[in-house]
Amino acid sequence: MLNTICAIATPRGAGAIAVIRISGEQTLAVVSKIFLAGKKNLVSLPANTVHYGTIINGEQMIDNVIITLFKSPHSYTGEDSIEISCHGSLHIQNKILELLINNGAHLAKPGEFTLRAFLNGKIDLSQAEAVADLIASESEAAHKIALQQLRGGFTKELAALRDKLVNFISLIELELDFSEEEVEFADRKQLLELLINIQKHIFTLIKSFKLGNVLKNGIPVAIIGEPNVGKSTLLNVLLNEEKALVSEIAGTTRDSIEDTINIQGITFRFIDTAGIRQTDDIIENLGIERTFKKIELADIILFIVETESLQNSKDKIQEIVNKYPDKKWIIVINKIDTAESVEHKIENTIGLPTVSISAKKRLFINNLESMILSQIDTHKLNVGDTIITNIRHYEALMRANESLQRAVGGIESNIQTDFLAQDIRQSMHYLGEITGQFTNDEILDNIFKNFCIGK
């Protein structure tokens, strides 16, 4: 029997109200000892009801609270469960928690409520992970994906793929039973078609990971250019925060500095870098090396040039842009406040999207933001397709795909039936790992240690 657990479910600190959660077989027994609501007896109260009452410690009154009562199996964890909404003082929260523990409950580990929901079959593993993503989601796109996963869309998709394989594997196993007689129950041509179809599907999911990952962690946008052109100033303006040091000394930024911000529902990760130039300074050179690494990792690159040196920089820009043809480049002409002509006309540099701004005076930053947004295929975010955001799922899909690839090769080269069966079974295993059909303590520990306590 699992212990009865308790935890504060709201963020640490004082608020108007805090919520303390209890779950497990002893929930009603434990709470009864510290909760009074007239003549009500918790055990006999109906499930899914809310009650006003008092938390007491012997004779001493602690707080007036509301409790919400859930009874197994109709609760988040599937167990008997109570949520106590108390006044938000830290002292009250701690006191109630202490009373629960003194009366037999145990302090929950991170994610333990959700772990129980999984163990009790309320949700599968990918849904449990979606809960963590939902809590962590900071943008509309991340929220949408987590919600889709939580609803079980992904689970259904995987189950459908597995069902198709199950059908064939049973035929193949039947063949193994009759191995003396060399019969083929499973039509190899049909099987091959099926495997290739499933592979295609898995491949789409694998491909979606790149998009999913950037949506969750922010689309990486590197800010590059020569020293002193205003890269750090721009980073600060975009983030609305004095994150990076700005000075008139060329070579101020040595290390890359980054942070995320949400622009119209999409998270971007802006990365300020060391200015690119020829220098003998060892540290600065290390920084410049790092700049090039950041370019490789970025999806979008803002190439900052000063208004004045634009004409002289064209070749240099072209040279660097040519090295990274797959990136989305935006040329940002900075310091237009110092430009002589008031027209600030945007010069079209080397056929790349170009925008003129003044980072320092915060001029035309909106134009730059719109241009950044226009580089994103936002329509990809609107389709109901499943998008993989979780590296664990990604790895499992890669492995499933490898096993399928072996099976496909096997059919083509007429390998022994038992090897074929093994490859197909293995791919089913990897698909099952995602939903938690096959799992072990290490996988579970890894997933749930990243949860907050109380969830």
Ligand X SMILES: Nc1nc2c(ncn2[C@@H]2O[C@H](COP(=O)(O)OP(=O)(O)OP(=O)(O)O)[C@@H](O)[C@H]2O)c(=O)[nH]1
Q: Which residues make up the interface to ligand X (CB under 6 A)?
A: 227-233, 246-248, 250-253, 275, 334-335, 337-338, 358-361
Q: How far is the CB of 335 from ligand X (least distance, A)?
A: 4
Q: Which is nearer to ligand X, 270 or 451 (CB)?
A: 270
Contact partner at residue 349 from ligand X, Mg ion, none, CB < 5 to 8 Å by partner kind: none
* Shortest Å, Cβ 266 to ligand X: 25
Is the Cα dihedral 87, 89, 93, 98 positive or negative?
A: negative
Residue placing its CB nearer to ligand X in the complex, 215 or 276 = 276
Phi, psi angles (nearest 5°) of residue 59:
-85, -20
Q: Which of 232, 307, 313, 403 binds Mg ion (CB under 5 A)?
A: 232
Partner from ligand X, Mg ion, none contacting 442, C-beta within 5 to 8 A by type: none
| 256 interface partner picked from ligand X, Mg ion, none, CB below 5 to 8 A per type | none
230 binds, among ligand X, Mg ion, none (CB under 5 to 8 A by kind): ligand X
If contact means CB under 5 to 8 A according to the sort of partner, which of Mg ion, ligand X, none does residue 160 touch?
none
CB of 344 to Mg ion, least distance (A): 23
Q: Which stretch binds Mg ion (CB under 5 A): 226-234, 297-305, 371-379, 399-407?
A: 226-234
Return the number of the residue (305 or 376) whose C-beta is nearest ligand X.
305
CA distance linking residue 436 with residue 444, whole number of Å? 9
Q: Binding pattern to Mg ion, positions 244-263, x when CB under 5 A?
A: --------xx----------
CB contact burial 65-79 (16+ within 10 A = b; e otherwise): bebbbbbbeebbbbb
**Smallest separation, CB 362 to Mg ion (Å):** 17
Least separation, in Å, of the C-beta of 366 and ligand X?
15
Q: For residue 306, what are the contacts with CB-CB under 8 A and spacing of at least 6?
A: 226, 228, 229, 230, 333, 334, 335
Cβ proximity to ligand X, 141 vs 305, nearer residue: 305
Q: Which is nearer to ligand X, 253 or 386 (CB)?
A: 253
| Count of Cβ atoms closer than 10 Å to residue 315 Cβ | 8
178 burial level (CB within 10 Å; 0-12, 13-18, 19+): exposed
Residue from 307, 240, 238 nearest 272 by CA = 238
Given ligand X, Mg ion, none, residue 173, with its beta carbon under 5 to 8 Å by kind, binds none
Q: Which residue has the tokens 């701690």?
A: 94
Helix (H, G, I), strand (E, B) or coil at 74: coil
Residue 427 contacts Mg ion per CB under 5 A: no
Q: Which is nearer to ligand X, 142 or 229 (CB)?
A: 229
Nearer to Mg ion, 253 or 390 (CB): 253
Q: How are strands ordered across the β-sheet holding 35-36?
A: 35-36, 49-57, 60-70, 81-87, 17-23, 5-8, 106-107
Torsion angle of the four alpha carbons 368, 374, 377, 378, in this order, in degrees rounded to the nearest 10: 90
**3-class state of residue 15 by DSSP:** coil
Q: Which is nearer to Mg ion, 216 or 231 (CB)?
A: 231
Interacting residues of 310 by C-beta distance below 8 A, sequence separation 6+: 333, 347, 349
Q: How far is CA 197 from CA 157, 246, 270, 402, 421, in A?
A: 13, 54, 39, 14, 18
Contacting positions for Mg ion (CB under 5 A): 231-232, 252-253
